[in-house]
Amino acid sequence: MKIRMISFGILIMTVISSSVNAQQNDLVLKSEFEANMLAWQKAYNSGDAKNLIPLYTEDAIYTSSHVPGLEAIGNDKLIANFQVGITGGGHIDKIEILKMDVSGDMAYLFCRYQATNSGETVSGRNLIVMKKIKNDWKIAIHMTVV
Domains present along the chain, CATH in parentheses: 2-145 (3.10.450.50)
pLDDT, tens digit, 9 for 90 and up, residues 22-38: 455 778 899 999 999 99
Compute the average pLDDT of residues 46-56: 97
What's the CA gap between 145 and 143, in Å, rounded? Answer: 7
Average pLDDT, the chain: 88
pLDDT band at 82 (very low <50, low <70, confident <90, very high): very high
b/e sequence 80-103, b meaning 16+ C-beta within 10 Å: ebbbebbeeebbbeebebeebebe
Whole-prediction pTM value? 0.82
- Per DSSP (E only), the strands in the chain are 56-63, 71-73, 90-103, 106-117, 120-133, 136-145
pLDDT of residue 26: 79
